[in-house]
């Protein structure tokens, strides 16, 4: 399996250098651009750089990655573009951005949530692959068929990561119509999160929201939910991440596996774990979002998760009310850091 890795502007160049050194394992690097809304915070918002400095630093990093022969994937994956969603000026801005990135970098694809952006790229940039974002939650043949003329490839709905029958079904259809299929491997999100769309909308409008006198801070319902000890089994049972040890089980079904690393505290640690195919430590530390702070002083030690875990949950009937397998696995892998002598 090769990996699609998210760009992060780190204080040193070590992350970019690590990707270049391991280019044989890297399918592409995905990134947002400038002030265009995306599925995370603006790339220009940095504690270390002024906005113009951040843009220049990113240009240098993208050129370095391109020179290493690693393809680039532009993210236009915000959940909402507000009044710009259909505006002519917005599509002109997208066109100018792609023209610039094609002229000096290895831009090969765009990931978007917008059928209109997908249509625009197809009409104007025939050599650019257009990929449907995982944030669209596409998890059925019907959902793919509706957008067949808009997208060249799809991210599968993350809730299907542990359902082998659904993976095979979607893969067979994609192969039959010449579409690519991708997977997000290390999401820490809870399955079927009822506040996911709301949260994605907040992120899309974060620049405007930051200017307001806000009454509340919203970090996602998962933080409050998992803070209750009785819900902590959900860290293993109600998530969809794939352990580095098990990524090989997905090789025949997906073009590449996406690794969420854009806000990771240690992106090299995450990428290294999946390239090596094994990891010892808190499994949350290689996921986005990382719930380690909520669980402390406990962690779920990845090396203590049963070796048959993924094979089991890929084929089980998902009737969790009558099964304790995941609860027992989580308990077996739980480590109390407060009891460890230093």
| Cβ contact 70:106 at 8 Å | yes
Is 324 part of a structural domain of the chain? no
**Residue 43: pLDDT above 80?**
no
Other beta carbons within 10 angstroms of residue 21's beta carbon come to 11
pLDDT for the residue 6: 98
Q: What is the mean pLDDT of residues 285-303?
A: 94
pLDDT for the residue 32: 96
CATH of the domain at 226: 3.20.20.70
Q: Which domain holds residue 200?
A: 3-230+238-293
pLDDT for the residue 338: 80
**Residue 341: pLDDT above 70?**
no
Q: What is the mean pLDDT of residues 81-108?
A: 96
Average pLDDT of the chain is: 94
Q: What pLDDT digit, counting tens, does each position of 130-161 carry?
A: 999 999 999 999 999 999 999 999 999 999 99
* % pLDDT > 90, the chain: 85
pLDDT for the residue 42: 75
Which token pair is 28? 């592409």
pLDDT for the residue 340: 64
Burial of 338 (0-12, 13-18, 19+ CB in 10 A): exposed
Alpha helices in 112-231 (DSSP H): 115-124, 141-146, 164-177, 196-204, 206-209, 221-227
Is 336 part of a structural domain of the chain? no
Q: Nearest Cα to 166, choosing from 176, 152, 156?
A: 156
Is 323 part of a structural domain of the chain? no
Q: What is the mean pLDDT of residues 299-327?
A: 94
Q: What pLDDT digit, counting tens, does each position of 200-215 carry?
A: 999 999 888 988 999 9
Q: What is the mean pLDDT of residues 58-68?
A: 97
Is 50 part of a structural domain of the chain? yes
C-alpha 317/C-alpha 203 separation (Å) is: 34
pLDDT for the residue 84: 93
Q: Range with the lowest mean pLDDT among 95-99, 280-284, 321-325?
A: 321-325
pLDDT for the residue 304: 97
Is 181 part of a structural domain of the chain? yes
C-alpha 163/C-alpha 149 separation (Å) is: 27
**Residue 342: pLDDT above 70?**
no
Q: What is the mean pLDDT of residues 23-34?
A: 97
Other beta carbons within 10 angstroms of residue 144's beta carbon come to 21
Is 141 part of a structural domain of the chain? yes
Answer yes or no: pTM beyond 0.85.
yes
**Residue 252: pLDDT above 80?**
yes
Q: What pLDDT digit, counting tens, does each position of 185-195 carry?
A: 999 999 999 99
Q: Which residue has the higher pLDDT, 103 or 321?
A: 103
Q: How many domains does the chain have?
A: 1
Q: Which residue has the higher pLDDT, 103 or 41?
A: 103
C-alpha 168/C-alpha 172 separation (Å) is: 6
**Residue 11: pLDDT above 90?**
no
Is 267 part of a structural domain of the chain? yes
Is 252 part of a structural domain of the chain? yes
């Amino acid at each position: 399996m090769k990996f699609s890795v998210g760009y992060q502007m780190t204080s040193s160049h070590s992350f970019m250098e690590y990707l270049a050194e391991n280019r044989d394992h890297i399918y592409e690097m995905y990134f947002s651009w400038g002030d265009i809304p995306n599925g995370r915070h603006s790339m220009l918002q940095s504690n270390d750089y002024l906005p113009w400095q951040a843009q220049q630093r990113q240009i240098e990093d993208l050129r370095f990655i391109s020179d290493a022969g690693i393809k680039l994937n532009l993210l236009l994956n915000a959940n909402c573009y507000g009044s710009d969603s259909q505006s002519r000026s917005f599509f002109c801005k997208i066109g100018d951005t792609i023209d610039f990135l094609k002229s000096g970098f290895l831009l090969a694809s765009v990931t978007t949530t917008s059928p209109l952006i997908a249509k625009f790229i197809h009409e104007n940039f025939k050599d650019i692959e257009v990929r449907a974002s995982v944030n669209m939650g596409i998890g059925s043949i019907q959902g793919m068929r509706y957008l067949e003329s808009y997208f060249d490839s799809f991210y599968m709905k993350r809730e299907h990561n542990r359902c082998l029958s659904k993976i095979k079904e979607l893969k067979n259809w994609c192969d039959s119509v010449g579409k690519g299929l991708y997977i997000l491997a290390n999401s820490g999100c809870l399955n079927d999160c009822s506040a996911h769309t709301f949260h994605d909308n907040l992120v899309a409008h974060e620049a405007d929201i930051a200017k307001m006198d806000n009454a509340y801070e919203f970090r996602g319902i998962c933080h409050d939910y998992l803070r209750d000890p009785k819900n902590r089994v959900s860290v293993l049972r109600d998530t969809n991440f794939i352990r580095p040890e098990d990524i090989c089980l997905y090789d025949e079904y997906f073009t590449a596996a996406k690794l969420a690393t854009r806000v990771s505290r240690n992106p090299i640690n995450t990428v290294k774990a999946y390239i090596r195919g094994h990891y010892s430590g808190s499994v949350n530390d290689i996921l986005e979002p990382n719930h380690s702070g909520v669980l402390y002083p406990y962690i779920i030690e990845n090396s203590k998760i049963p070796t048959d875990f993924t094979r089991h949950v890929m084929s089980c009937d998902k009737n969790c009310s009558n099964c304790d397998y995941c609860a027992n696995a989580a308990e077996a892998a739980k480590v109390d850091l407060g009891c460890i002598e230093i």
